[in-house]
Structure 1
Amino acid sequence: MKKLNIASIPGDGVGHEVVPSGEQVLKTIADIHGGLAFEFTSFPWSCNYYLEHGSMMPENGLDQLKPFDAIFLGAVGDLNLVPDHISLWGLLIKIRREFEQSINMRPAKLLKGVTSPLANPKDFDLLVVRENSEGEYSSIGGKIHQGEDEVAIQNAVFSRKATERAMRFAFELAGKRRQHVTSATKSNGIVYSMPFWDDVFKEVSTDYPSIQTDSQHIDALAAFFVTQPERFDVIVASNLFGDILTDVGAAIMGSIGIAPAANINVNGKYPSMFEPVHGSAPDIVGKGLANPIGQIWTAKMMLDHFGEIELGAKLLDVIEETTTAGIMTADIGGKHSTEEVTNEIIHRLKSL
């Protein structure tokens, strides 16, 4: 029996509605598999926890999470309660940084039965690998002076180690997909970090002669995501560029509610973390409108991470069977509730 201990953090808002959906699906898959088991331990860390305790997690929170095989996260943030820079840096980003989750991985594909806002989406299926530890989101900088003389400086940090790590991760994934990697750059406008990025990409590509490559400036690349998404396989991008591209990817799928993500620790020292891309959506909390597919697709990525590739593929097939049958929430044109979509996926899994 392969038993996986998962730290479950529903977080804020609809996280409390979609995380149980993901857990139910994973438990169903484990029951079907027979040799697999999931044990979930829930942690109440959230903006409400902050209001009560003055922090998003306990001082020893990371020590509590470290023994787990993975972290299953719902959503973080509620501007009605806590400013984003406190909630995100106190929980989500804290876990990413201190657990060395240096790779963020987000797929985007045209799901069967879901209407893309694109007039002719051409069955796109792409994967963005985002460097997740530094780049434009480094916490190096500061402010000086006040009034009209006030200056804010934000430093972007690109190390060879982290840049090359993200690129090699992308090439390895492309080798299992359609053998193509696109680099997101802006070397015609950012004069130090992006030419460095380009140089490392060229060096790394020589170690993967069977993989085709191209390099696109981020502004053109964002446009191509809308006009020609089918041309892309794996895209490797810096922290900021990857963040923006993946929201575009979610949009062309039809809803950010179906977009999954994985934060990967590549050295095995700490658990990786799996989360949907959507936020806490406080405006629809408790209404049964939250789309559980983002969280359930995130569960598929967790299965892949644990080497259960076949089970992950079956789960994605079942998700698409469900959407093809029209069992969907309102954000993607359906009329069903969170619970109804979840139950339909579970029913289809049981009938495999």
Structure 2
Amino acid sequence: MKHLKVASIPGDGIGTEVVEAATNILKAVSDIHGGLSFEFTDFPWSCQYYLEHGAMMPEDGMERLSQFDGVFLGAVGDPNLVPDHVSLWGLLIKIRREFEQSINLRPAKVMKGIRSPLLNPKDFDIMVVRENSEGEYSAIGGTMNKGEDEIAIQNAVFSRKATERAMHFAFDLAKKRSGRVTSATKSNGIVYSMPFWDRVFEDVAKSYPEVKTDSQHIDALAAFFVTQPERFDVIVASNLFGDILTDVGAAIMGSIGIAPAANINVSGKYPSMFEPVHGSAPDIAGKGVANPIGQIWTAKMMLDHFGEEELGRVLLDTVESVTSDGFLTRDIGGKHSTKDVTDEIIARLKAKA
């Protein structure tokens, strides 16, 4: 029996609703496979927690999380309560950085029954490998002077170690898929970091002669996501470029509400964290209309990470059977509630047991 201990952090807004939905589905998945069980421990860390305690998590929060096999996160943030830079850096980014979750994985594909805004999406199936620890999101920089002479300096940091790590991850992933890797760059406009990125990409590619490669400037690549998404398989990108591309990926799928993500610690020293791409959506929180698919697909990525890829495939296939039959929340053109969609997925999973 594989017993997985998972720290559940529902967080803010709709996070509490979609995490409950996905947790119930994971329990149904474990019923299908008698050799797998989940033990979830809930942590109430959120903006409301910050208002009560002055921090997004307690001082020993990271130590407590380190005892788990994985972290299952719903959503972080409510700018009506706590500024975003406080909530994100106090919880989400804190976990990513201190647990050395150096890879962020985000897929984008045509989902059966969900209408893409593209006229002809041609069954695109993309996986973006985003360097998740440095790049444009470094904390190095500062401000000086005031008034019209005020200056803000933000330093982008690119190390060979982290860049190679992301690229090796992308190439290894491509070998399991269609064998193509595209590098997102901007070396025609960013003088130092992007030519460095290109050189490292060329060096890493030499170790994978069986993998086809190309390099695209980020502005053109963003346009190709809209005009020719089917031409791409695995894309490796820096922290900022990967972040932007994957929001475009969510948009061409039909809704950010269905987009999943995984933050991977490649060494296994610390737990990895799994979260949907969407935010806390406080405007619809508590109304029972949140789309649970992003969190459920995130659960599928967690299953994959734990080596349960066949169960992950079963889960995603079941989700697509439900969406193709019209069980959709309103953000993707349907009329069903969070509970309606969740219950239908669970019923179909149990029918397969």
TM-score (norm 1): 1.00
In structure 2, the residue matched to 1:110 is 110
SS in structure 2 of the partner of residue 157 of structure 1: coil
Distance in 2, Cα, partners of 1:238 & 1:45: 29
Deviation string, structure 1 residues 46-72 (Cα, Å, up to 9, x no partner): 000000000000011000100100000
Deviation string, structure 1 residues 171-223 (Cα, Å, up to 9, x no partner): 01100001000000000000100000000000000100100000000000000
SS in structure 2 of the partner of residue 349 of structure 1: helix
In structure 2, the residue matched to 1:191 is 191
Distance in 2, Cα, partners of 1:268 & 1:296: 23
In structure 2, the residue matched to 1:269 is 269
Equivalent pairs counted in the alignment come to 352
Q: For residues 309-320 of structure 1, what are the structure 2 equivalents within 5 Å?
A: 309-320=309-320
In structure 1, the residue matched to 2:96 is 96
Distance in 1, Cα, partners of 2:335 & 2:123: 24
What letter corresponds to residue 107 of structure 2 in structure 1? Answer: P
CA shift, 1:344, in A, is 0.5
What letter corresponds to residue 276 of structure 1 in structure 2? Answer: P
In structure 1, the residue matched to 2:155 is 155
Distance in 1, Cα, partners of 2:32 & 2:239: 38
CA shift, 1:286, in A, is 1.1
What letter corresponds to residue 310 of structure 2 in structure 1? Answer: E
What letter corresponds to residue 220 of structure 1 in structure 2? Answer: A
The alignment yields a C-alpha RMSD, in angstroms, of 0.4
CA shift, 1:124, in A, is 0.5
In structure 1, the residue matched to 2:324 is 324
In structure 2, the residue matched to 1:31 is 31
Deviation string, structure 1 residues 86-117 (Cα, Å, up to 9, x no partner): 00000000000000000000000000111000
Whether 1:175 and 2:175 are equivalent positions in the alignment is yes
In structure 1, the residue matched to 2:80 is 80
SS in structure 2 of the partner of residue 249 of structure 1: helix
Distance in 2, Cα, partners of 1:288 & 1:142: 42
Distance in 2, Cα, partners of 1:2 & 1:267: 20
Distance in 1, Cα, partners of 2:223 & 2:72: 32
CA shift, 1:341, in A, is 0.2
What letter corresponds to residue 303 of structure 1 in structure 2? Answer: L
Unaligned runs of 5+ in 1: none
Distance in 2, Cα, partners of 1:149 & 1:286: 46
Distance in 1, Cα, partners of 2:254 & 2:289: 15
What letter corresponds to residue 309 of structure 1 in structure 2? Answer: E
Whether 1:279 and 2:271 are equivalent positions in the alignment is no
Distance in 2, Cα, partners of 1:181 & 1:348: 35
In structure 2, the residue matched to 1:341 is 341
SS in structure 2 of the partner of residue 153 of structure 1: strand
CA shift, 1:335, in A, is 0.6
SS in structure 2 of the partner of residue 284 of structure 1: coil
SS in structure 2 of the partner of residue 135 of structure 1: coil
In structure 2, the residue matched to 1:68 is 68
Distance in 2, Cα, partners of 1:287 & 1:65: 30
CA shift, 1:148, in A, is 1.0
Distance in 1, Cα, partners of 2:62 & 2:233: 35
Distance in 2, Cα, partners of 1:177 & 1:333: 31
Identity value in percent: 78
In structure 1, the residue matched to 2:133 is 133
Distance in 1, Cα, partners of 2:235 & 2:344: 33
Distance in 2, Cα, partners of 1:209 & 1:287: 52
SS in structure 2 of the partner of residue 262 of structure 1: strand
Unaligned runs of 5+ in 2: none
Distance in 2, Cα, partners of 1:246 & 1:171: 18
Distance in 1, Cα, partners of 2:153 & 2:126: 34
Q: For residues 213-292 of structure 1, what are the structure 2 equivalents within 5 Å?
A: 213-292=213-292
SS in structure 2 of the partner of residue 138 of structure 1: coil
Distance in 1, Cα, partners of 2:114 & 2:32: 27
SS in structure 2 of the partner of residue 282 of structure 1: coil
Distance in 2, Cα, partners of 1:142 & 1:286: 39
What letter corresponds to residue 17 of structure 2 in structure 1? Answer: E
Distance in 1, Cα, partners of 2:89 & 2:333: 34
What letter corresponds to residue 348 of structure 1 in structure 2? Answer: R
TM-score (norm 2): 0.99
CA shift, 1:250, in A, is 0.1
Distance in 1, Cα, partners of 2:31 & 2:293: 20
SS in structure 2 of the partner of residue 197 of structure 1: helix
Q: Please list every run of at least 4 consecutive aligned residues from structure 1 whose deviation after the TM superposition is greater than 2 angstroms.
A: none
